[in-house]
């Protein structure tokens, strides 16, 4: 069973066992516009909760992607190097950025549920 949580910086993290998959939300992808480049973290890189992990560039702007929870990067979505538009097409699915091994699952309590995130976005 997986669990998805959200940050106030518009990242999502999907937890399946000890593996976390991270990406940006549909809202973030819409705000960015057409994504043209994604810089992914290297496998083996350790990142703390809220730390800069990746970069996404669109025709409008470049933005940092922050780690929703701390851990060690295990893989980047190399498909985004060839097709960065996957971020726009399926931001919360095939457009994921990286996977990581979780350091502390308790950090999830600081993140929003899907319902909380939906309410948060309504206020923007």
Per-residue pLDDT tens digits for 37-72: 999 999 999 999 999 999 999 999 999 999 999 999
Paired strand residues for 20: 15, 100
Question: pLDDT tier at 13 (50, 70, 90 boundaries)?
Answer: very high
Domains, the chain: 3-105 (2.40.50.100)
User: pTM for this one?
Assistant: 0.96
Q: How confident is the model at residue 2 (pLDDT cuts 50, 70, 90)?
A: confident
């Amino acid at each position: 069973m997986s669990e998805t949580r959200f940050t106030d910086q518009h990242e999502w993290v999907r937890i399946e066992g000890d593996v976390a998959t991270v990406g940006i939300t549909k809202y973030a992808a819409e705000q960015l516009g057409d994504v043209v480049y994604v810089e992914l973290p290297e496998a083996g890189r350790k990142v703390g909760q809220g730390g800069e992990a990746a970069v996404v560039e669109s025709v409008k702007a470049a933005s940092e992607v922050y780690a929703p929870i701390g851990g060690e990067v295990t893989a980047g979505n190399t498909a985004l190097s060839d097709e960065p538009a996957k971020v726009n097409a399926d931001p919360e699915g095939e457009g994921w950025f990286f996977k990581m091994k979780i350091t502390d699952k308790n950090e999830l309590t600081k993140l929003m549920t899907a319902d909380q995130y939906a309410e948060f976005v309504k206020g923007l």
